[in-house]
């Protein structure tokens, strides 16, 4: 007698409930050089002895198409990235994010028509096993959404991050997003309209400013807001010898002050953008210090 038992189905991939794109769409994205990595993977941190989820903020746009994928916390607040990725290539990977649970926002734009999938991913303990499972749940799915403003055009750049497409139910009623994710959806919309994208639109730097300040996080309202855009290396190049440049990472700017972090000392060198001024972050503010003091601080 033949064995008619079916093989057990493999567990659903972590990308379950996300956007499942037809081959033609994937090819069109590939042809345009837009690379998005929406997968959520399970990773083990050996030192911390814990498992975490890993997601990659990625994507970008050309004029007729865009795709972007971003990750936020369960409450919609931005996640700090582990590492931002600076590469020559555009419309690719921008930052790596790790957390025990995360919400993925995935968008596709074909001209003015949009797709959106919001999914929640978390770890679930498996009895008698150290390795947990990834559990995924769909929070929102919007199809054939519309946004009448051509956000990818330069003249509408100022509106990026303020608008999001509208999705309708099959019965023609506008669907409402989960409110806590509205901000992240608008930012991901901007990412899918960002031609030649090289930035992180949703993830935030790991510690806003100083490790030496102890507990600083992006959500602390007392902090000076840090924005991360194109790296500006010029102030650093004027301040340190060429052979030391590779020791620094660009972390963003706080107003007119550019922030660089030393890879080894983990300290910051903060330099005025259009000046030869140096700053130390103290008690939530940037205080001007001498060049010598700034360099001594960051190197020690």
Q: Give residues in contact with Zn ion (CB under 5 A).
A: 194, 197, 199
Q: Which is nearer to Zn ion, 104 or 199 (CB)?
A: 199
CB 56 within 8 A of CB 98: no
Residues, the chain, total? Answer: 300
**Residue placing its CB nearer to Zn ion in the complex, 169 or 227:** 227
Q: How far is the CB of 215 from Zn ion (least distance, A)?
A: 30
The pair of structure tokens assigned to 275 is: 């000046």
Minimum Å gap between C-beta 300 and Zn ion is: 36
Q: Between 17 and 201, name the residue whose CB sits nearer to Zn ion.
A: 201
| C-beta of residue 163 within 8 angstroms of C-beta of residue 139 | no
Closer residue to Zn ion in complex, CB, 60/145: 60
- Measured from the CB atom, is 123 or 151 closer to Zn ion? 151
| Other CB atoms within 10 A of residue 184 CB | 25
CB of residue 153 vs Zn ion: minimum separation in angstroms? 15
Q: How far is the CB of 201 from Zn ion (least distance, A)?
A: 6
> Nearer to Zn ion by C-beta: 108 or 194?
194
Q: Is 243 helix (H, G, I), strand (E, B) or coil?
A: helix
Q: How far is the CB of 191 from Zn ion (least distance, A)?
A: 5
Enumerate long-range contacts of 262-270, CB under 8 Å, 24 or more apart: 262/298, 262/299, 265/298, 265/299, 265/300, 266/211, 267/210, 267/211, 267/212, 267/297, 267/298, 267/300, 268/209, 268/210, 268/298, 269/236, 269/239, 269/240, 269/294, 269/295, 269/297, 269/298, 270/209, 270/294
Minimum distance from residue 266 beta carbon to Zn ion (Å):
27
CA nearest neighbour of 118 among 32, 179, 207, 162? 179
């Amino acid at each position: 007698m033949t064995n008619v038992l079916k093989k057990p189905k493999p567990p659903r991939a972590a990308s379950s409930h996300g956007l499942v794109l037809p081959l033609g769409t994937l090819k069109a994205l590939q042809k345009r050089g837009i690379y998005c990595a929406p997968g959520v993977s399970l990773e083990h941190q050996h030192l911390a002895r814990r498992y975490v989820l890993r997601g990659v903020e990625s994507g970008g746009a050309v004029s007729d198409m865009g795709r972007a994928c971003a990750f936020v916390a369960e409450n919609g607040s931005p996640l700090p990235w582990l590492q931002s990725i600076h590469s020559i290539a555009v419309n690719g990977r921008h930052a790596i994010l790790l957390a025990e649970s995360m919400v993925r926002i995935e968008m596709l734009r074909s001209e003015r028509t949009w797709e959106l999938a919001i999914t929640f991913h978390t770890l679930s303990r498996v009895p008698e096993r150290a390795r947990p499972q990834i559990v995924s749940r769909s929070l929102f799915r919007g199809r054939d959404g519309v946004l009448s403003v051509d956000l990818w055009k330069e003249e509408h750049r100022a509106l990026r991050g303020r608008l999001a497409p509208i999705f309708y139910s099959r019965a023609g009623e506008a669907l409402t997003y989960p409110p806590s994710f509205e901000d992240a959806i608008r930012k991901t919309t901007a990412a899918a309209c960002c031609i030649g994208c090289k930035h992180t639109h949703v993830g935030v730097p790991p510690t806003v400013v100083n490790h030496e300040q102890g507990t600083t996080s992006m959500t602390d309202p007392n902090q000076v807001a840090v924005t991360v855009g194109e790296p500006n290396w010029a102030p650093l190049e004027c301040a340190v010898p060429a052979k030391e440049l590779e020791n620094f990472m660009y972390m963003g700017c706080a107003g007119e002050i550019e922030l660089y972090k030393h890879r080894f000392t983990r300290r910051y060198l903060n330099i005025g953008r259009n000046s030869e001024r140096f700053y130390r972050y103290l008690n939530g503010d940037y205080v001007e210090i001498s060049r010598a003091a700034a360099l001594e601080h960051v190197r020690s």
